[in-house]
Amino acid sequence: MKKIFLSQLALFTLLFIFVLYIFFVQDKERPFGRYIGQYQSFQGVTASYDAMTGYIIVHDTNINRLVSFQGTYPSRVGKHPEEVRFVNEDAFKKSIYGEAKISITNTIKKMTTVTMTTNQGEITLELFGDLKPKTVENFTKLAKDGFYNGTRFHRVIKGFMVQGGDPNTQDRAENYYMPGTDKYVARDHMDIWGTGGPGYSFADELSNENNNVIGTISMANSGPNTNGSQFFINTANNNFLDTKHTVFGKVVAGMDVVSKIENNKTGQNDRPIEDMIIEKMEVK
- Out of 138, 163, 168, 238, which one is annotated catalytic? 163
Catalytic residue at 66? no
Catalytic residue at 232? yes
The C-alpha atoms of residue 79 and residue 66 are separated, in whole angstroms, by 26
Spatial CB neighbours of 216, under 8 Å, sequence gap ≥ 6: 52, 233, 234, 247, 249, 250, 251
Catalytic residue at 163? yes
Nearest Cα neighbor of 214 from 276, 262, 176 is 262
- Out of 152, 154, 155, 271, which one is annotated catalytic? 155
Catalytic residue at 221? yes
- Out of 160, 172, 175, 202, which one is annotated catalytic? 160
Distances (CA, A) of 214 to 4, 203, 252, 266: 73, 24, 11, 21
The C-alpha atoms of residue 150 and residue 170 are separated, in whole angstroms, by 5
The C-alpha atoms of residue 44 and residue 263 are separated, in whole angstroms, by 45
- Out of 92, 139, 232, 248, which one is annotated catalytic? 232
- Out of 241, 248, 264, 271, which one is annotated catalytic? 241
The C-alpha atoms of residue 31 and residue 44 are separated, in whole angstroms, by 9
Catalytic residue at 160? yes
- Out of 152, 154, 245, 271, which one is annotated catalytic? 245
User: Catalytic residue positions?
Assistant: 155, 160, 163, 221, 232, 241, 245
